Amino acid sequence: MDAVKLTGFSFAYPPEAASAALARADYVACSGGEPCVGAASKPTLDIDDLRVPVGSFTLLAGMTGCGKSTLLQCLKAELAPQGLRQGIVEVLGSELTITQQDSHSEDPGRIGFVMQDAEAQIVTDTVGEELAFGLENLALPSAVIQRRVAEIAAFFGISGWFDKKTSELSGGQKQLLNLAAIMTMHPVLLLLDEPTSQLDPLASKEFLSALYRVNQELGITILIAEHHLSDLLPLCETVVFLDEGRRVFDGGVQDFIVFCTTEKPLYLPALPAATQLALTLAAREDKCQPMPEEGLELPTGAQDTPTTVRDARNLLQAVVCARKDAAIQKLNSGAAPGFQELLSGAETERASAPVLTTHDLWFSYGKEHGFVLKGVDVAARRGRIHAILGSNGSGKSTLLFALAGVRKPQRGRVRVEGKLRRAALPQDVKAILIRDTVREDLEEGATGFGSDREAVQGILEEFRLTHLVNRHPYDISAGEQQKVALAKLLLTNPDILLLDEPTKGIDAAAKQELGILLRNLVALGRSIIIASHDLAFTAEYADECVLLFNGQLAGAGKPKEFFDGNLFYATDINRITRGILPGCVTLDDVLGRALG
């Protein structure tokens, strides 16, 4: 039996704004091919056939806006969106029927759903209450509830949190609690929508490790939509790839890598750094032929391509050992032209005074909570991208919004040069998406801050949002919401741009576009400050990095010096090259040294 089976399935959102659509009775969900009253927009999903085997660990992949989140929601009756639905959806052997009057399943505990926003899914005040909440709603006996809660708390190693307030947990702890609370109801199928997008790198690894145990030790089927694949892809057995709502690939991980290299090269940057490095080495085999006595053969295709740091290190070590010509000897001695500049990241310092500074900044959300920021001193300069890094709960967002003037510190001060305009992008971008359509939201940004309203069309095209102009901002994917919110912010013409997790929910190609856009903005003299968990992105595009730990600065420097030498808080490329090609934190660094 398949855990999920779709046959001739399509789904389309209503063309009206979501607020209007929800109030209309003529837009009801349909199944079995029965027509719905009223017209709908172009289908978000159009899937002839899709099967997810029972017990599998399946990745649902695709570019931002391809329909991943919509598909997951369509598999859970309680979350199924309003719109035109046709075809057959079978979940755990039963056909799923959704109507406007009946949007609940007979056994909600059989299908678990973990959302992107960890905090939004928590409904109680303490960890113990959260673990028991779902079971209480199922009206199970108290003895059963106590036994299940105790068992699951032990399985996930969260017994020590039992009496803690959920508000005191870190982002990673909250997401792990969400998973544990779902597991108390003994689900058979787990659906996860970008569950690690708001987690720091270490919390993300811990969450995925727990999820893998759930699959391997309990046999529960996993279907997970995710953009960050470095830690996830090695755990998966199968991959389903959506393109504009259609299933265009369904197969094993190695076949998926081949598919990306031949059919979807734009998706290659989303693959693990280990895979990208191996594919690049293979593509440039003619530049690094092995010495005859070594007998080394680099991959000529994508089969058996590494997906883990360990396997990529073995491959890179073999390549470096095989390159015993004079050029490599010069590289290893540091004598190659431009090599020292490559490793040090040397660049001409922009001779500009700071445009935004803090002095001895202390901030608390209340006496009972203690200080979140403790004597922080930072300085942002014109024409630079500054990155604030740190774990969940370290104070990154608080510092960012203190710099934006949104949070007033108890001690210390924030100083802005002249009358420079600041604009801040919150982590929850829905807070600034308040109109009925994407176009109206962008026009509000242009009108309210004096930008030329004609700029709206230009930014729609630049961000590739023209097809969404009449959609409600809440009816588009999280990644598309992120792009719309950033576009709205840019229409205000800020001098200083403050971004909280700007790469959250967007695909690898969109990240590259964002990075180029930010570099173009700083080239025009703007200053950008980002708070981020995305180490690879900040290593590639930031000029300066600072690390917050427990509300205090624990390190600062340019990306190369900042990331090089860290054991865990480092890029995957740095972990792959450590001890083999020192000083590399990005793929370009490796290529410049190993193949340059």
User: Residues near 445 by Cβ (< 8 Å), separated by ≥ 6?
Assistant: 451, 487, 488, 489, 491, 492
DSSP class of residue 404?
T
| 8 A C-beta contact, residue 439 and residue 488 | no
More confident residue, 17 or 419: 419
Whole-angstrom Cα Rg for the chain = 25
Helix axes 201-218, 171-183, angle to 10 degrees: 10
Say if 107-236 and 354-570 have the same CATH topology.
yes
pLDDT at 106: 54
Q: Say if residue 27's pLDDT is above 60.
A: no
At 475, the pLDDT band (50, 70, 90 cuts) reads confident
Is domain 107-236 annotated with CATH 1.10.10.10?
no
Q: Say if residue 8's pLDDT is above 90.
A: yes
Q: Say if residue 345's pLDDT is above 60.
A: no
| 8 A C-beta contact, residue 127 and residue 489 | no
Give the type of residue at 33. Answer: G
**Domain residue spans of the chain:** 107-236, 272-345+582-594, 354-570
At 450, the pLDDT band (50, 70, 90 cuts) reads low
Q: Cα dist. 583→384, 502, 547, 579 in Å? A: 22, 27, 19, 9
Q: Say if residue 333's pLDDT is above 60.
A: no
pLDDT at 550: 86
Strands of 45-53's sheet in order across? 45-53, 2-12, 84-91, 94-95
- By CB neighbour count within 10 A (0-12 exposed, 13-18 middle, 19+ buried), where does 431 fall? exposed
Mean pLDDT for the stretch of residues 432-454: 80
pLDDT at 288: 44
Tokens of 550: 């427990």
pLDDT at 153: 92
Tokens of 591: 């290529």
More confident residue, 186 or 351: 186
At 86, the pLDDT band (50, 70, 90 cuts) reads very high
Token match 């053969």: residue? 297
Instruction: Give me the helices (H) in 24-86, please.
Output: 68-74
Quote the percentage of the chain above a pLDDT of 70: 83
pLDDT at 41: 63
354-570: CATH topology: Rossmann fold (3.40.50)
Give the type of residue at 411. Answer: R
Tokens of 563: 């990331």
